[in-house]
Amino acid sequence: MTTPTPFIHIKAKANQHAVFLMLLAVIIFIITLIVSQYYWRSHHLILIFIYLLALVIMLTGLLKRSEPKVSLQLTPQGIQYYHRHGNWTLNWQQIQNINTIKEVMGITTVALPYVGIRLKSVDVLAEQISPRLANRLIHEQRPLLSFSVRQNLLSLEETQLNFNPFTLASGEKIKGPLAAFLYHCQTLHKGLGYHLYIHESSTDRELEAFCQLLKQCQDYSTKYS
């Protein structure tokens, strides 16, 4: 009889309260609709603003609802990251280091809301991330590049998108959004020391605790058979 593979599911903070926000938007809309029957002429600007507010709340709830129910799956073999635009997968053996992102600014240490993953080779991402997600992450992680420029960790020229083909160690050339993302990962590695970044909103606990969990899983993977 085969022993089932243990796994840990991480549910993102980003999709919490989705149903509550949608219900709140509906309630606000209904109440405003009733009030409008009596006070539209005298207070139409205020009522229009409340309608727009209800729409924003509804859209926020729908956006949260569209997020995957599970943002990460941890197994003895590796880590799988799920995003509404795709996913990436890594084996623990492909990861060199995992840590929170901290930078010293004068006498102050600034902690960024990310856990960083340093890979042994960025080439592994060529087949283990969806092109759609690769393209999305380039834009979502622009704040990391901006931070690196402000702290003089990278020059402005280094943070520009690179659309040239990316040559893997095997000699194979990668084009399109995957190539741009691989260059993007190399740039972030130069500036902040890590290739991949998991935002705090994708976790279900404090960053330090989440980082420790990943390290424990990686350590356990060497003992699992």
| pLDDT at residue 165, rounded to an integer | 92
pLDDT at 224: 63
Q: Are 139 and 177 in contact (CB under 8 A)?
A: no
pLDDT of residue 115: 93
> In sequence order, which residues have a C-beta less than 8 Å from that of residue 180 and are 6 or more positions away?
134, 135, 138, 161, 162, 163
Determine contact, residues 183/162, Cβ cutoff 8 Å: yes
Please report the pLDDT score of residue 34 as a whole number.
Answer: 84
Residue 99 confidence (pLDDT): 92
For residue 197, what pLDDT is reported?
A: 94
Q: Starting from the edge strand earliest in sequence, which strands make up the sheet with 196-199, in order?
A: 95-105, 108-119, 196-199
Q: Using an 8 Å Cβ cutoff, are 115 and 210 in contact?
A: yes
- Whole-model pTM: value is 0.77
Other beta carbons within 10 Å of 196: 24
Distances (CA, A) of 102 to 35, 115, 144, 184, 197: 51, 10, 12, 20, 13
Q: Provide φ and ψ at 79, rounded to 5°.
A: -125, 135
Sequence spans of domains, the chain: 13-66, 72-221
CB of 88 closer than 8 Å to CB of 202: no
Cβ–Cβ contacts within 10 Å for residue 109, how many? 9
**One digit per residue, pLDDT tens: the chain, 225 residues?**
444 457 788 887 666 667 777 888 888 888 888 888 888 778 878 888 888 988 888 887 777 776 777 888 898 889 999 888 888 999 999 999 999 988 776 667 788 899 999 999 999 988 889 889 999 999 999 999 999 998 888 998 989 988 899 998 888 899 888 999 999 999 999 999 999 999 888 888 888 999 999 999 888 887 765
